[in-house]
Amino acid sequence: MQAVVLAAGEGSRMRPLTETVPKPMLPVADRPLCAHTADAAVDAGIDELVVVVGYGADAVRAYFDDTYRGVPVSTVVQGTQRGTADALRAAAARLDGPFVVLNGDNLYDSEGIAALVDALPAVAAIEVDNPRHYGVLSTTPDGSRVTGIVEKPADPPSSLANAGAYALPERALEWLDVDESDRGEYEITDVLARAIEGTAVTPITLSRWLDVGRPWELLAANEWKIDGVERRIDGEVHANAELRGDVVVESGATVDAGVTVEGPVIVRSGADVGPNARVRGATLVGEGCRVGHGVEIKNSVLMSGAAIPHLSYVGDSLLGPGVNLGAGTQVANLRHDGEDVEQTVKGERVSTGRRKYGVVAGADAKTGVNTSLAPGVVLGAGARTAPGESVTRDRT
């Protein structure tokens, strides 16, 4: 059985984090996002991975190389990102027999993907409270067979949302000549619709799933995967540092005197924490990061090379590669009215659904000393703030 991992997208809704890093390669715990997708496939018994690449293709190729966890890997290029069915077309020549298709920016429970493989032909689903925002499956009265799929219906036929994972017979490769959708793409859901017409497709309800399309969902992805880490101390930890709970300190990382780390936390290779810092919540301190004296970090993601050297607070935030926060930078992560924090995504103000949410900073953004950043603020790649500035609007 082969699995196609769709990892070609640019991730425009994830900007500014994806200005320098392709979305499938954004960090989730100790590996890229798309590696968790590959893990679910390998754990389900997949024999070969076919990874569809596009934007940032070289980074994805370099990570997977020719094998992943002992499973052969091949990559194919989707030259222009024109939808999921178009991505499957790019992979078609590499496929021989029934296959699985997984979105490389989704997190799945491994048991659900194993059940999907066993039930082929099948589609993964997730129970949701408001199915109007999803592609929704309709089923037979006993729930054993899918009878249709409709995108964002005003009157949903069920509460089963399409979870972007499919197990299809080889003949599905003959159904890729789908029409362009209203949004100008070729959709794999139209391929699924043909499968539903011609065969019995089983719905497999996942116990857990996450579509990682916007920055706060990357934060949620790290909360999920970091929460599952097991304590491991391979790096250098000062005798006067205190590590509580499930903390990972990778080889080559340093935790200095006076530091308190309250798990679950991952401190990656080459990172340097302290002295006298506090790190807590589901926090990722990425490779080569610097967390200095008097800094407190809570429930945040620091991508490679980010630095918070002195006397700062960062909560519920995402810092891109090479970000540097000047001494005394303070991130606010809670609105005074207690409402959910909003963020601007592709020009539209959107609720994050999170009561606590800080800032998103793109690669190499820098703040002046004593900068104050309001909840939901976005700093674009290379953005700058002045010393003592209070930033309440996005800065590009």
Q: Which residues are catalytic?
A: 310
In angstroms, rounded to a whole number, what is the distance separating the alpha carbons of residues 202 and 299? 38
In angstroms, rounded to a whole number, what is the distance separating the alpha carbons of residues 262 and 269? 18
Q: How many CA atoms lie within 13 A of 145 on its CB side?
A: 9
In angstroms, rounded to a whole number, what is the distance separating the alpha carbons of residues 365 and 25? 20
Nearest to 290 by CA among 257, 253, 260, 315: 253
296 is written with which tokens? 């407190």
In angstroms, rounded to a whole number, what is the distance separating the alpha carbons of residues 322 and 305? 5
In angstroms, rounded to a whole number, what is the distance separating the alpha carbons of residues 127 and 24? 25
* Nearby residues of 317 by Cβ (< 8 Å), 6 or more positions away: 300, 301, 331, 333, 357, 358, 359, 360, 361
Q: Among all chains, which residue has been given the structure tokens 């995402």?
A: 318
- Dmax over CA atoms of the chain, in Å, equals 66
Q: What radius of gyration do the chain's Cα atoms show? A: 22
- Contact by Cβ (8 Å): 221, 33: yes
192 is written with which tokens? 């699924």
Distance of CA 269 to the CA centre of its chain: 21
64 three-state secondary structure? helix
Nearest to 209 by CA among 131, 357, 60, 105: 105
In angstroms, rounded to a whole number, what is the distance separating the alpha carbons of residues 396 and 379? 6
CA distances from 136 to 88, 204, 362 (A): 21, 13, 34
Strand partners, 247: 265
